[in-house]
Amino acid sequence: MRLLKALTVLLAVGGVIALIVAARVTPRPLMRIAAIQPAMNFGYVRVQGTVMAFPSFSARDRYLSFQIWDGSGELRVTAYRTVVDSLLSGERIPLPGDRVSVEGTLRIRDDEPSLILNAADGLLIETPAATSVQLSALGDVSLGERVEVTAQVRRVRPIGPALSVITLRHSDATADALLSRALPALATLSVPEAGDWVTVAGAVGEYRGNKQVLVTAVRPAAALDTPRWPIAELNSDLVGRWVGIEGQVTDLRPFRAGMRADVTDDSGGSITVVMFDEIWNGLPFSMTLDIADRLAVAGEVSEYRGRVELIPQLPADVRLLAAP
């Protein structure tokens, strides 16, 4: 009798284990985020989507949270403690632009659904290849898509201990890139300096209606050419445009806030390049620049008292050329 009871208990336990194993290996039906209803609170579901922003992460609190979008709606996924430990040990913290499949328990409060990741193996991550695009085409790319752009760093603005906004420019196009080093996979990213040429990869995000790049990788890049204009063709219709010129210095005139240099090229045109102190003092050749030296200048076309001028914004915009 005791043997029969023991066998009965053993079979019951084995049956439960088999059900658990079967439940784990049987794929859950995929659910659209928009189809989640309040009556589904505490239900166990599977969703797929794209990570749309940098996750919130705390190694100290063993906490991870990220937003996904599946085309029908947005859902926040949260993990705690041992699940976060497992994701960390496997280097499986999702990044912007990653496509993920997530299984977990729904929590719905005030009609706002979220999902609790109960086990690390409930998260699958796919990182799509980045598409190379021109900075000027960034506005046409869908949010969450992974891209790679090459441009010049114009400004770096720290907005937190591990977060920086990098303003990029290529020709007339400008855009911001958001660089976060708060996640383990991004902690070693180097912050570039103004004037550097870089290639950044990441997902397309948006801030106040403007597209930006949420950076997941950054590396040095060769400089891209700024379109060169014959100086004779520069006129007031181009005010606000970013152009490049090459020519010979024909006059140097200091003023209270910097230096004005007249530059003439083979087109016969002449333009005044206005270099304010922060530009002029940053040039390694400012003390030796002389009449007849040749310059390559990139800058914004401006107009002052009816005359067209060119205004560079960084010392890197003004280069001394070797004599022909």
> Would you say 204 and 212 are in contact if contact means Cβ atoms under 8 Å apart?
yes
pLDDT at 21: 42
Chain centre to alpha carbon of residue 118: 30
Residues 155, 156, 161, CA angle at the centre, nearest 5°?
Answer: 165
pTM attached to this predicted model: 0.84
pLDDT tens, residue by residue, 131-179: 999 999 999 999 999 999 999 999 999 998 899 999 999 999 999 999 9
DSSP strand pairing (63-69 vs 44-51):
antiparallel
pLDDT tens, residue by residue, 51-103: 999 999 998 899 999 999 999 999 999 999 999 999 999 999 999 999 999 99
Query: Which position has the token pair 């280097």?
Result: 91
